[in-house]
């Protein structure tokens, strides 16, 4: 959020407690992440991306 305010200070930012950016993006795009008995796992690639393996 700090970076956005530095780059584009006039951009409105809304904070919704309990909702992550990927959940908000999926909802805004009308996409379903998982439904019914499906599972959804998000793994960050920010650190040790070489250690991530296909599950």
Domain boundaries, the chain: 2-51
Predicted confidence at residue 43, as pLDDT, reads 73
Asked whether the predicted pLDDT for residue 55 surpasses 60, the reply is no
Structure tokens at 17: 């407690």
d(CA 33, CA 39): 9
Measured torsion, CA atoms of residues 18, 21, 26, 29, in degrees rounded to the nearest 10? 120
pLDDT tens digit sequence for 19-30: 888 898 899 999
Work out the number of other CB atoms within 10 angstroms of the CB of residue 26: 15
Cut 0.85: pTM above it: no
> What is the C-alpha separation between 53 and 26, in angstroms, rounded?
24
């Amino acid at each position: 959020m700090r970076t956005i305010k530095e780059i584009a200070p006039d951009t409105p930012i809304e904070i919704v407690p309990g909702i992550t950016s990927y959940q908000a993006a999926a909802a805004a795009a009308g996409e379903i992440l998982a439904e019914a008995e499906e599972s959804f796992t998000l793994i960050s690639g920010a650190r040790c991306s070489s250690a991530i393996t296909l599950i």
